């Protein structure tokens, strides 16, 4: 079945440093979504990428979808304490005949003030 | 209104109890989902309802019984649960089932089975 690997599992950064989390899929994805879950909270949708090589920005967050549509990354520039949480990627593989999301294991970001 | 609501927020139940979790959305979404999330793990899909019909059951034990009374409501009936079923149960909805449908998650019900 489809697998989505995400690294690193944990990342501790000093406030102001950059942060990147990476996702790799065992199959070609139809799209990839990113979610953020604050401690004690629930996943909140951040963005969706659909096109090969797509890059999208949201303020300090930059999302990329690989050319082969098998990998993706989320980069945060100059982290702030409000960025703390777990970031999940989640992919859909219509080629597998399924439209549900397969979540990566998440990257837990801690920001040291 | 872009909110998914869930009740109760917390639930403690014994292994012989019967309880229900409730989820509601008023965004006109036609797909609704139940996920189970253990600590430090990603959400794990349990059920998908598409246009009020159960379309996906991810081999969930029969002690979990979903119900979709109408397009806005989703219930999860619990009976004879095990301690390992203790987790955060998340409801989500999306506009339509299918590619690219972003999912809106509710705050979850934190379930403890004693």
Task: Check residue A93 and give its pLDDT.
Answer: 79
Q: What is the pLDDT of residue B101?
A: 83
The shortest C-alpha distance from A21 to chain B (Å) reads: 15
Q: Look at B99 and A99 and tell me if their CB atoms are within 8 Å.
A: yes
Percent of chain A clearing pLDDT 70 (strictly above)? 95
Cross-chain Cβ contact B56/A100 below 8 Å: yes
Where does the pLDDT of residue A1 fall: very low under 50, low under 70, confident under 90, or very high at 90 and above? low
Is B43 within 8 Å of A43 when comparing Cβ atoms? yes
* Rounded-to-integer distance, Cα B106 and Cα B62, Å: 23
What does the pLDDT read at residue B46? 94
Query: What's the rounded mean pLDDT across residues A4-30?
Result: 96
Edge-to-edge strands, sheet with A55-58: A4-7, A19-25, A71-76, A61-65, A55-58
Percent of chain B past pLDDT 70, that is, above it, reads 96
- Strand pairing category for B10-13 and B109-113: parallel
Positions in chain B whose pLDDT score sits under 70: 1-2, 98-100
**pLDDT tens string A42-83:** 999 999 999 999 999 999 999 999 999 999 999 999 999 999
Averaged pLDDT for residues A73-95 = 94
Residues of B near A (Cβ–Cβ under 8 Å) read 33, 40-45, 48, 56, 90, 97-108
**Chain A residues whose beta carbon lies within 8 Å of the beta carbon of residue B2:** none
In this predicted structure, the answer to whether residue A97 has a pLDDT above a threshold of 70 is no
Give which of B40, B100, B104, B109 to mutate to test A binding, by max A Cβ within 10 Å.
B100
Q: Which chain B residues contact residue A110 at CB under 8 A?
A: none
pLDDT at B2: 65
Looking at residue A101, its pLDDT comes to 86
Which residue among A30, A31, A103 places its CB closest to the CB of B43?
A103
Give residue A53's pLDDT: 97
Q: What is the DSSP string of A81-97?
A: GGG-EEEEEEEE-GGGT
What mean pLDDT is reported for chain A? 94
Mean pLDDT of chain B: 93
- Write the DSSP symbol of residue B83: G
pLDDT of residue A25: 94
CB contact under 8 A, B56 and A104: no
> In A, what residues contact B, Cβ < 8 A?
30-31, 33, 35, 41-45, 48, 50, 88, 92, 94, 99-101, 103-106, 108
Q: How far apart are CA A82 and CA B35, in angstroms?
A: 26
Share of chain A above pLDDT 90, in %: 85
Question: pLDDT by residue (tens digit) across B66-92?
Answer: 999 999 999 999 999 999 999 999 999
Q: What is residue B1's predicted lDDT score, i.e. its pLDDT?
A: 61
């Amino acid at each position: 079945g489809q697998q989505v690997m995400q690294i690193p599992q944990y990342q501790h950064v000093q406030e102001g440093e950059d942060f990147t989390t990476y996702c790799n899929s065992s199959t070609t994805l139809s799209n990839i979504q990113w979610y953020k879950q604050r401690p004690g909270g629930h996943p909140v949708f951040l963005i969706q990428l659909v096109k090969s090589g797509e890059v999208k920005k949201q303020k300090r967050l930059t999302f990329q979808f690989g050319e082969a549509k098998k990998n993706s990354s989320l980069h945060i520039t100059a982290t702030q304490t409000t960025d703390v949480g777990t970031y999940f990627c989640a992919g859909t593989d219509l080629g597998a005949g399924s439209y549900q999301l397969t979540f990566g294991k998440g990257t837990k970001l801690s920001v040291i003030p | 209104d872009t909110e998914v609501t869930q009740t109760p927020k917390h639930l403690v139940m014994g292994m012989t109890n019967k309880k229900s979790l409730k989820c509601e959305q008023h965004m006109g979404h036609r797909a609704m989902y139940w996920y189970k999330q253990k600590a430090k793990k990603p959400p794990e899909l349990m059920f998908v309802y598409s246009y009020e019909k159960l379309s996906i059951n991810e081999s969930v034990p029969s002690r979990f019984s979903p119900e979709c009374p109408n397009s806005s409501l989703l219930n999860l009936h619990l009976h004879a649960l095990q301690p390992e079923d203790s987790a955060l149960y998340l409801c989500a909805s999306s506009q339509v089932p299918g590619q690219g449908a972003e999912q809106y998650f509710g705050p979850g019900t934190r379930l403890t089975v004693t």
